[in-house]
Amino acid sequence: MYRVLVTDGVSPEGLKALTEAPDVEVDFRPTLNEEELKEIIGEYDALIVRSATKVTAAVLEKARRLKIIGRAGVGVDNIDVKAATAKGIIVANAPGGNTVAAAEHTIGLMLSLARNIPEACARTKSGVWDRKSFMGVELRGKVLGIIGLGRIGSEVAKRAQAMEMKIIAYDPYIPEERARDLRVKLVPLDTLLQEADFITIHIPLSKETYHLIDREAFVKMKPGVRLINCARGGIVDEEALYEALKEGKVAGAALDVFEKEPVTSHPLFSLPNVVVTPHLGASTVEAQLAVAEVIAQEVLTALRGGFVRHA
Ligand code: NAD
Ligand code: MLT
């Protein structure tokens, strides 16, 4: 029997290919910390995680029989891919399944910022009828700067075009034709920072992108810009963002992700023009089913010696 460990609340329904397989035994455990994971990882042939479980080199050292780590989502920044590869462990993700969920959440955050919806909701529910404090701005005619025109960035572009926004993007790795097909103008990062009224981030967290949006980047931005980060904490320097918001250079920020997660208290939470959600970009019934189905198939294939598509 192959033994599979599943953490981080991956959809059990989407994992039916594994739970119903005659040669597989699946254990569901909540998010495990490094020590807990180190203690039990040696018993498993496969591990399936979302973003909360950190699969470190120390954990992998104890993984005597692990063949594959399946990430039920896109970002693999919570997995030490180099250490896994050195041990011959496959790291597979499930790109595509949560693209629309993350794009829709991004649009929701952008509208929340433009129209102060979360603040106004809280004020109204607190028993105050306040129509003066929440003057918004329209998206129509505004410039949206998309950093990273991959799967999610592209879906955000399509949806923002329906709201009559003008879209520019910075992504040095995609071909011009792809941007042309999407009716998006590719520009250097500095141009995007200078011209955008709204900036949204859709790139992976890596050494290259860590604090890509730092103090210097905020200086280059248009006064009154609004920033959305539904990609990864760590791409935006949170201290620099706090200062830019306090100075009024940035009119608002909407954050689904943070450098340290989970986070229950943060200086940014004290600012009224900051909208936050607890890493909910991929949290739709449809997306969770889709990513779990993809990763279940990949894990089954790897365990049975087949070819993994998204390694
Ligand atoms: P993707 O690989 O399809 O797109 C990423 C794009 O970023 C690519 O086009 C790539 O060329 C570009 N890119 C890479 N490095 C860059 C750089 N330094 N500067 C500019 N562009 C760069 O991935 P995706 O499916 O669109 O997901 C993007 C990221 O969103 C993921 O890596 C993940 O971290 C995050 N994500 C978050 C949630 C959430 O719940 N908040 C959900 C899904 C994905
Ligand atoms: C991802 O990279 O896919 C997201 O962070 C969503 C998730 O954590 O499941």
List Cβ neighbours of 93 (8 Å cut-off, separation of 6 or more).
Answer: 70, 71, 73, 74, 75, 76, 295, 310
**Ligand 1 atom closest to residue 101's alpha carbon, by position in its atom list:** 42
| Low pLDDT (below 70) residues in the chain | none
Question: If DSSP states are collapsed to H, E and C, what string results for 126-187?
Answer: CCCCCCCCCCCCCCCCCEEEEECCCHHHHHHHHHHHHCCCEEEEECCCCCHHHHHHCCCEEC
**In the prediction, which pLDDT does 262 show?**
96
Taking the centre of ligand 1 as the mean of its atom positions, its distance from the CA of residue 27, in whole angstroms, is 30
| Cα(165) to centroid(ligand 1), Å | 21
Model pLDDT, residue 203: 98
User: Which atom belonging to ligand 1 lies closest to the Cα atom of 208?
Assistant: 18
| CB of residue 149 inside a 6 A radius of ligand 2 | no
| Angle, CA of 264, 55 and 237, to the nearest 5° | 45
Counting atoms of ligand 1 from 1, which one is nearest the CA of 280? 40
Among all chains, which residue has been given the structure tokens 């449809």?
286
Cα–Cα distance for residue pair 227/200, rounded to 1 Å: 6
| pLDDT on residue 310 | 83
Residue nearest to atom 41 of ligand 1 (CA): 281
CA 261: distance to chain centroid? 12
Q: Of the residues 8, 48, 49, 51, which should be mutated to test ligand 2's pocket, given the most ligand atoms within 8 Å of the CB?
A: 51
Q: Give me ligand 2 centre to Cα 134, in Å.
A: 32
pLDDT, position 31: 87
Residue 209, token pair as written in the block: 């992108």
Q: How far is the CA of 169 from the centre of ligand 1 (A)?
A: 13
CA 304 – ligand 1 centroid, Å: 30
The rounded distance, in Å, linking the Cα atoms of 269 and 179 is 35
By DSSP bridging, strand 185-186 and strand 166-170 are parallel
What are 292's two structure tokens?
Answer: 């779990």
Catalytic residue among 50, 71, 105, 279: 279
Residue 310 known to be catalytic: no
pTM of the model: 0.97
Under DSSP, the state recorded for 61 is H
Candidates 36, 104, 195, 261; catalytic one: 261
The tens digit of pLDDT for each residue in 135-165 reads: 999 999 999 999 999 999 999 999 999 999 9
Q: What is the predicted pLDDT for the residue at 311? A: 83
- Ligand nearest to the CA of residue 207, numbered in listed order: 1
Residues at CB less than 6 angstroms from ligand 1:
73-75, 95, 98-99, 102, 147-153, 170-174, 202-205, 208-209, 230-232, 256-257, 279, 281-282
